[in-house]
Amino acid sequence: MTAQDAGETNAPPVASESSTPNGSPQAWQLDHELSKIPYLPSENTNTPVSFFHFISRLKTTKREGWRRFGIAHGESISDHMYRMAIMTLCAPPSLTSRLDMAKCTKMALIHDMAEALVGDITPRDGVSKSEKSRREAETMDYLCRRLLGKVNGGMNGEEIRKLWQEYEDGETDESMFVHDVDKIELMHQMIEYERDYGGKMNLSEFARVGTRIQLPEVKEWWKEILAEREAFWKSVGHQQTPQYDESKPDRGHEEYYGSDKA
């Protein structure tokens, strides 16, 4: 990664464990990671200004999955969450009639907020899902209690923390929908990058995530993306659309996205 790239990513922490001076692994610690940040916002203030400064890191921290394919100047975490939020506003009546759509939109804007500190941990980083959840939960506690705890009586921080936890638990209808939207946004970005690179980049590895979509309404969006992708690859001279190898399950993806096909 070049110095320019590091600046654009806001130098997010590496997902793997750091090391002590004697070379032994050191567990990820919240305050240690915070100590690396220049101009760290003040805590326990009566306004949300410090919080606003901190989440600016979401605008410059890149989504790491694409970087493995050489897409160094790709989307940021906030890019991803913004389009997700817009997608929730376009839900069909079969969903808007039974879901709290305002909650869904808020959840889409919050669900990756912890990545402002922990970075975008991917299945390839060797960090277990439980460890990823621990780091993110501690970061959300920091944001919601130490930066927002005294703002408006703590109500804003409490709401954000509850919405994040609801998404993580994935048990409510709203959280299930937003999880599907998380996947379908990734699928949109996959085909857009394949188009941007004129068919010289095969991102079919990410297509398996689409098979984890649960809701019929979101599956319809996925079917349309698949049709678009097939038409694109034919337009650049491929009779068959590149596919991921189903005979070689990716345990990392299965742990993060679930192993059962929808």
- What is the set of domains in the chain, with CATH numbers? 42-257 (1.10.3210.10)
pLDDT score for 252: 52
Could you report the per-residue pLDDT of 87-136, keeping only the tens digit for each?
Answer: 999 999 999 999 999 999 999 999 999 999 999 998 888 899 999 999 99
pLDDT score for 240: 82
- Residue 189 CA to residue 201 CA, distance in Å, equals 13
pLDDT score for 37: 96
* Helix residue ranges per DSSP H, 45-154: 49-55, 57-60, 64-67, 77-89, 93-96, 101-110, 115-118, 129-141
- Residue 38 CA to residue 73 CA, distance in Å, equals 23
Asked whether residue 25 carries a pLDDT value surpassing 80, the answer given is no
Could you report the per-residue pLDDT of 55-78, keeping only the tens digit for each?
Answer: 999 999 999 999 989 998 899 999
* Helix residue ranges per DSSP H, the chain: 3-8, 30-34, 49-55, 57-60, 64-67, 77-89, 93-96, 101-110, 115-118, 129-141, 155-169, 173-196, 216-235, 251-257
Q: How many CA atoms lie within 13 A of 262 on its CB side?
A: 21
Say which amino acid occupies 10.
N
Could you report the per-residue pLDDT of 150-207, keeping only the tens digit for each?
Answer: 999 999 999 999 999 999 999 999 999 999 999 999 999 999 999 999 999 999 999 9
Could you report the per-residue pLDDT of 251-262, keeping only the tens digit for each?
Answer: 555 555 554 333
Could you report the per-residue pLDDT of 6-16, keeping only the tens digit for each?
Answer: 344 444 444 44
Could you report the per-residue pLDDT of 213-258, keeping only the tens digit for each?
Answer: 999 999 999 999 999 999 999 999 998 888 876 655 555 555 555 5
Q: How many CB atoms lie within 10 A of CB 25?
A: 10
